[in-house]
Amino acid sequence: MRFFFLCTLFCTLVQPRGFSQQVYSRQTRERLIPIIIQAESSGNPNAVSRDGSRGLFQFTEPTWTWASEQAFGRALSFDDAFDPVKSRRVAEWFIDWLARQIDGHYSDALMIASYNWGIGNVKRNGYRIPDFLKNHPNKIYREILKGGAA
């Protein structure tokens, strides 16, 4: 623990002026979850999008099948995406997984871009957020993606 503190202190002291790096933590996830719920489904656990995404977190079927297997040890039925408790557990696992994928580049904006656009697209774009995402139709996401506070 002492080593971690010293490393954190050193990194803080040697950061270039104007450099800002966010760090992902469980508290970050807990802060982002209601933002994602509001942006994706307006809090409606029975929401279904035009492309068939379901639930509070608007999972697509392939992502739900894969992520639910990781979160629960077995793939859940896509109908379970409507269950707020199961959906949240899958979303927590998925958000933690995304954070590990963007480690070293973490920001709320990159997390939302990865959640919304896909981590593969974010990586291929050099961890830069494209303009079309910065102009996202959802106001909550748009503010975060443009660098506003979450």
Domains of the chain: 21-145 (1.10.530.10)
DSSP state of 54: B
Tokens for 81, please give them: 């995406």
End-to-end CA distance of the chain: 29
Q: Which of these, 119, 114, 124, lies nearest to 145 by C-alpha position?
A: 114
Record the pTM: 0.80
Listed as ranges, residues in the chain with pLDDT below 70 are 1-22, 148-150
Give the pLDDT confidence score for residue 51 in this predicted structure.
95
The pLDDT of residue 90: 98
Query: pLDDT at position 143, please?
Result: 86
